[in-house]
Amino acid sequence: MRKFIDLHLHLDGSVPVATIKKLISEHHYPIPSDEKLRQELSVDSNCKSLDQFLEKFALPNKLMQTRHDIKTIVYDLLVELKEQGLVYAEIRFAPQLHTKKRLTQENVIKAAIEGLNQFLIDQKQENSNQPELHAGLILCLMRFANNQKENMETVELAKKFLNHGVVGLDLAGAEGPIPNIKYKQFFDRAQELGIPYTIHAGEAAGPDSIRQALEMGAKRIGHGIRCTEDKKLTQELIDRQIILECCATSNMNTKAFDQIDSYPIKKLLHKGMKVTLNSDDMTVSNTNLPREYKLLEEKTNLTSEEETTLYLNAVDAAFTSPDEKIRLRALIQK
């Protein structure tokens, strides 16, 4: 069985459908038909934009407002990821989105860590021959107009829980209306506190958003695929060995890229770009990481040697300890 590493995985976009059904029942909400539920949770080929894509997060977020809900979702997602063959994952979410029922951001983070720790305990007791799945949490700041206080609180909490379940920060949300550079103060603070971070850029917005992320000190870029529109920027990313967290199916869904046959991850890899392949939102895009690799094998002739390079790039990029990187390299090179 292959060993996969996912660095760009949104919790609210990847809630297992079985978990959604379980929580709907627990909350005594009306139970939709399977077809209606699929329409609420997932996009299809008719998805026209990132904004339409983001509409699919409404129901999961409604079910992520109690400690029990969040702990359950993190735990169930990790179980599913291990079944897929993942050995390392970084799961990202925005604590400020889950405070509608009086939870604080700190409560939300603690609940997610409880789910993670419970999974790790149960995994240890399995005595399975399968390699262990290790995971960390990335806390997202949000691109909203008037949430400076909430964003700074997320930064400070990331420091409080760093290396205790939390591994880094991100900037997420609708890309375009507010430029990335407007959030520089939060990443200046993250640098002061020694918190690793990645920034969404080059998805709905073009090369300028990537340049702004670089100006903010990002060494990892969430998506970044639209760097291909600017040769000079592409070369800068190669020269600086900036990591791109590419998400093929998601990029098709949001129209960041329009032809899977010409998805440029293979071309960028051969130019020396530090690219990785990730799932982004498993439920919204109806995908997972093994499927992403299979898709690119079929559509772009991605080879096993190229896949190994993608895995090793992910190890280099991971917000984790040197010992964990040694473990992951050993698993990949077996």
How far, in Å, CA of 219 to CA of 260, rounded?
A: 26
Domain, as residue range, for 314: 4-333
From 203, 245, 306, 307, active-site residue:
203
Average pLDDT along the chain: 95
pLDDT of residue 269: 96
Q: What DSSP string describes 45-77?
A: TT---HHHHHGGGHHHHHT-SSHHHHHHHHHHH
pLDDT of residue 266: 94
How far, in Å, CA of 23 to CA of 109, rounded?
A: 19
pLDDT of residue 47: 78
pLDDT of residue 157: 98
What is the percentage of the chain residues whose pLDDT exceeds 70?
A: 100
CB 125 within 8 A of CB 44: no
Query: What are the backbone dihedrals phi and psi of residue 204, each rounded to the nearest 5 degrees, phi first?
Result: -75, -35
Sheet holding 274-277, edge to edge: 199-201, 220-223, 243-246, 274-277
- Smallest CA-to-CA distance from 60 within 87, 108, 23, 107 is with 23
pLDDT at 257 over 90: no
- Residue-wise pLDDT for 47-67, tens only, equals 777 778 888 899 999 999 999
- Residue-wise pLDDT for 290-313, tens only, equals 999 999 999 999 999 999 999 999
Q: How confident is the model at residue 78 (pLDDT cuts 50, 70, 90)?
A: very high
- Residue-wise pLDDT for 159-212, tens only, equals 999 999 999 999 998 887 899 999 999 999 999 999 999 999 998 888 999 999
Name residue 171's amino acid.
L
Among 130-134, 254-258, 274-278, the minimum mean pLDDT is found in: 254-258
How far, in Å, CA of 203 to CA of 175, rounded?
A: 7
pLDDT at 1 over 90: no
- Smallest CA-to-CA distance from 225 within 203, 210, 205 is with 203
CB 242 within 8 A of CB 219: yes
How far, in Å, CA of 250 to CA of 128, rounded?
A: 33
Mean of pLDDT values over 116-139: 94
For residue 219, what are the CA distances in angstroms to 124, 243, 253? 33, 6, 25
CB 219 within 8 A of CB 209: no
Tell me whether residue 287 is exposed, middle or buried, using C-beta atoms within 10 angstroms of its C-beta: 0 to 12, 13 to 18, 19 or more. Answer: buried
For residue 9, what are the CA distances in angstroms to 192, 255, 257, 333? 26, 19, 19, 24
Question: Which residues are within 8 A (CB) of 190 and not within 5 positions of it... i.e. 6 or more apart?
Answer: 155, 158, 169, 197
Residue 203 bears catalytic tag: yes
- Residue-wise pLDDT for 6-59, tens only, equals 999 999 999 999 999 999 999 999 988 999 998 889 988 777 777 788 888 999
Mean of pLDDT values over 130-143: 97
pLDDT of residue 214: 98
- Residue-wise pLDDT for 199-249, tens only, equals 999 988 889 999 999 999 999 999 999 999 999 999 999 999 999 999 999
Q: How confident is the model at residue 3 (pLDDT cuts 50, 70, 90)?
A: very high
pLDDT of residue 174: 82
Q: Take residue 167 and report the two structure tokens written for it.
A: 């591994």
Domains in the chain: how many in total? 1
What is the percentage of the chain residues whose pLDDT exceeds 90?
A: 83
Domain of residue 76, CATH code: 3.20.20.140
